[in-house]
């Protein structure tokens, strides 16, 4: 009877978009968009009010399972720039190659409940794991153990930033941030959760002399619950520093941590190494490499992008 149940589920590959943890919230994420930090030297000239950008990324990892999943995330961002902040809409194209062990939340590769429900090369269902049996009984589907690639529109993200304190003397530049994730990605294909999320945070940056800059960011995300599952809300933070090789070329490094959305998985932790180059007042280029240091994080991720201000 159990075997028949599993075979019936395998005849229809349904990717379970229930998240176990979340990498990041918004554009400060290394994997989703350019890491345009709260940088006093990169504030927008008053005559340039709009920015359009594209920052594709590729990430890969096993996310605590025995199967490697890979993701392509190509977001087009449209930003309205103000004197005291900015508002951005991110419209992404995504491609997921996985057996359901991982999926995306707001563009971030994330372990999925059900992704570890098979062993022995995907031939044996894990009836010894209560969460797998619960997913099966709830009719949510489990993975077949075979990789498939699905592509399409990702979750559209709206985010904003407002500067509340300007940098002076020993006082850092401080900004409040907010974001909303609209569930436009297909949950059935493992491209998202199908649930609405929103989050809030704060960004701090401080120049030290003319060459060095420090960053400290943190926030809290309210996670929407997919059908049949309840996920924890999430805190996150990152801390790092940068060095201006020239006035237009910044290299930086960060340590990032994000709370797991379920109690039995470790937090996502990674190091992010980035560059930002201001070629002209209009054109900017950015890139980065992420190295995961916990088994819930991608093994690695690469991003490279550009933006144009007008």
Would you say residue 228 has pLDDT above 70?
Answer: no
Q: What pLDDT sits at residue 154? A: 92
Q: What pLDDT sits at residue 300? A: 94
CA dihedral 131, 132, 138, 140 (to 10 degrees): 120
Task: For the chain, give every domain's residue range.
Answer: 2-309
> Please, how many CA atoms are within 13 Å of residue 123, restricted to the half-sphere of its CB?
2
Per-residue confidence at 188, pLDDT binned at 50, 70, 90? Answer: confident
Strand-pair category, 249-258 with 234-246: antiparallel
Structure tokens at 265: 């998985």
Would you say residue 262 has pLDDT above 90?
Answer: no
Note the pLDDT tens digit of each residue in 108-160. Answer: 666 665 455 555 444 455 556 555 555 545 444 444 556 778 899 999 999 99
Q: Which residue, 258, 167, 253, 160, is CA-closest to 205?
A: 167
| CB-CB neighbours of 198 under 10 Å | 15
Would you say residue 26 has pLDDT above 70?
Answer: no
DSSP string, 230-251: ----EEEEEEEEEEEEETTEEE
Helix (H, G, I), strand (E, B) or coil at 215: strand
Strand-pair category, 57-61 with 124-125: unpaired
Q: What pLDDT sits at residue 29? A: 39
Query: Which residue is associated with the tokens 């229930």?
Result: 18
Structure tokens at 219: 């926030």
Would you say residue 87 has pLDDT above 90?
Answer: yes
Q: What pLDDT sits at residue 111? A: 60
Average pLDDT rounded to a whole number, residues 70-75: 92
2-309: CATH topology: Porin (2.40.160)
Average pLDDT rounded to a whole number, residues 49-78: 89
Q: What pLDDT sits at residue 110? A: 60
CA dihedral 229, 195, 122, 98 (to 10 degrees): -160
Would you say residue 237 has pLDDT above 80?
Answer: yes
Say if residues 299 and 50 touch (Cβ distance below 8 Å): no
Lowest-pLDDT choice from 10-14, 82-86, 174-178: 10-14
Distance separating alpha carbons of residues 293 and 258, to the nearest angstrom:
12
DSSP string, 50-87: EEEEE--EEEEE-TTSSS-EEEEEEEEEEEEEETTEEE
Q: What pLDDT sits at residue 122? A: 45
Per-residue confidence at 69, pLDDT binned at 50, 70, 90? Answer: confident
Distance separating alpha carbons of residues 292 and 285, to the nearest angstrom:
24
Per-residue confidence at 230, pLDDT binned at 50, 70, 90? Answer: confident
Cα-trace Rg, the chain: 20
| CB-CB neighbours of 119 under 10 Å | 15
Lowest-pLDDT choice from 71-75, 77-81, 264-268: 264-268
Average pLDDT rounded to a whole number, residues 273-292: 96
Helix (H, G, I), strand (E, B) or coil at 134: helix
Average pLDDT rounded to a whole number, residues 82-88: 94
Per-residue confidence at 30, pLDDT binned at 50, 70, 90? Answer: very low
Would you say residue 295 has pLDDT above 70?
Answer: yes
DSSP designation for 297: S
Q: Which residue has the higher pLDDT, 183 or 67?
A: 183
């Amino acid at each position: 009877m159990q075997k028949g149940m599993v075979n019936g589920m395998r005849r229809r590959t349904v990717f379970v978009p229930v998240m176990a943890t979340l990498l990041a919230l918004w554009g400060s994420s290394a994997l989703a968009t350019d890491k345009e930090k709260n940088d006093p030297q990169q504030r927008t000239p008053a005559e340039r009010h709009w920015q359009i950008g594209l920052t594709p990324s590729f990430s890969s990892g096993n996310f605590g399972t025995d199967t490697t999943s890979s993701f392509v995330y190509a977001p087009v961002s449209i930003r309205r720039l103000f004197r005291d902040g900015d508002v951005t809409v991110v419209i992404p194209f995504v491609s997921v190659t996985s057996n359901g062990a991982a999926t995306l939340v707001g563009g971030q590769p994330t372990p999925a409940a059900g992704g570890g429900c098979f062993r022995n090369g995907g031939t044996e269902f894990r009836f010894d794991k209560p969460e797998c049996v619960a997913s099966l009984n709830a009719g949510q589907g489990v993975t077949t153990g075979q990789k498939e690639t699905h592509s399409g529109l990702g979750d559209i993200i709206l985010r904003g930033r407002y500067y509340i304190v300007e940098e002076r003397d020993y006082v850092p530049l401080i900004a409040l941030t907010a974001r909303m994730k609209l569930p436009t990605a297909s949950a059935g294909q493992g491209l998202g959760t199908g649930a609405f999320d929103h989050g809030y945070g704060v960004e701090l940056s401080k120049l030290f002399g003319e060459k060095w800059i420090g960053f400290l960011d943190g926030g809290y995300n309210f996670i929407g619950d997919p059908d049949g599952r309840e996920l924890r809300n999430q805190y996150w933070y990152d801390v790092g520093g940068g060095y201006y090789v020239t006035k237009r070329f910044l290299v930086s490094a960060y340590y990032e941590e994000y709370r797991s959305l379920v109690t039995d998985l470790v937090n996502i932790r990674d190091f992010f190494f980035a560059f930002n180059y201001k070629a002209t007042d209009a054109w900017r280029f950015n890139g980065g490499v992420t190295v995961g240091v916990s088994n819930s994080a991608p093994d690695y991720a690469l991003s490279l992008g550009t933006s144009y201000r007008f």
